[in-house]
Chain A
Amino acid sequence: DAGVIQSPRHEVTEMGQEVTLRCKPISGHNSLFWYRQTMMRGLELLIYFNNNVPIDDSGMPEDRFSAKMPNASFSTLKIQPSEPRDSAVYFCASSSGTREETQYFGPGTRLLVL
């Protein structure tokens, strides 16, 4: 299996621009998670989907952030407009949704907003 795939791996953009991060979960996994990691705040859960339905988006920092999962093999996290404080590593993870809840993380997208 290819594991969780994220793109792009690196993104540098200017403040005010729209940023779209993409994720392909492991085939057969029915739960998908978006995280943000910074030195100050650690690893924070932004939103998670179960069977393509958003279950908990309480971690989404503000209305500038939105996430979609149009099908079982694809999800996007969009930031519009982006701000310098959004600079972080964004991870996507997927799991089979069992009790073990083993989450498999993608390689992450390193976002720098200038």
Chain B
Amino acid sequence: QKEVEQNSGPLSVPEGAIASLNCTYSDRGSQSFFWYRQYSGKSPELIMSIYSNGDKEDGRFTAQLNKASQYVSLLIRDSQPSDSATYLCAVRDDKIIFGKGTRLHILP
């Protein structure tokens, strides 16, 4: 069974520091990788997508993909209290599978 694994957290990071979120997946055929952010009581929203090995940067966010290690990560630089949320990793081959998410708490 295809799986996407994330540490549930909570991950506590001081304001202004770098938050590092990690995700591993089981299906080597996966082609597309996504990070969604979900605030408490709200719906998930896409913040990053990545399709090839390496890094992809968008503002304070950097997604990193290593297909050989079946590993994808999300770095958040200069963490802000507004970044406190649950971050869902999603992986797609023939269909999309979500991890259970990592709760991130930015300490003011």
Contact = CB atoms under 8 A, between A and B. Distances in A.
Interface of A: 33, 41-45, 48, 56, 91, 99-108
Interface residues of B, number: 19
B95 A56 contact: yes
Interface string B40-84: 001111100101000000000000000000000000000000000
Contacts of A45: 95-98
A45 B96 CA distance: 8
Contacts of A43: 44, 88, 98, 100-101
Contact of B92 (A42, A56, A101, A104): A101
B33 to A, nearest CB: 10
Nearest to B44: A105
Q: Which 10 A-B pairs have the closest CB atoms?
A: A42-B100, A105-B43, A43-B98, A102-B46, A105-B44, A108-B43, A107-B43, A56-B95, A101-B32, A91-B43
Nearest to A110: B41
A101 B96 contact: yes
A106 B101 CA distance: 19
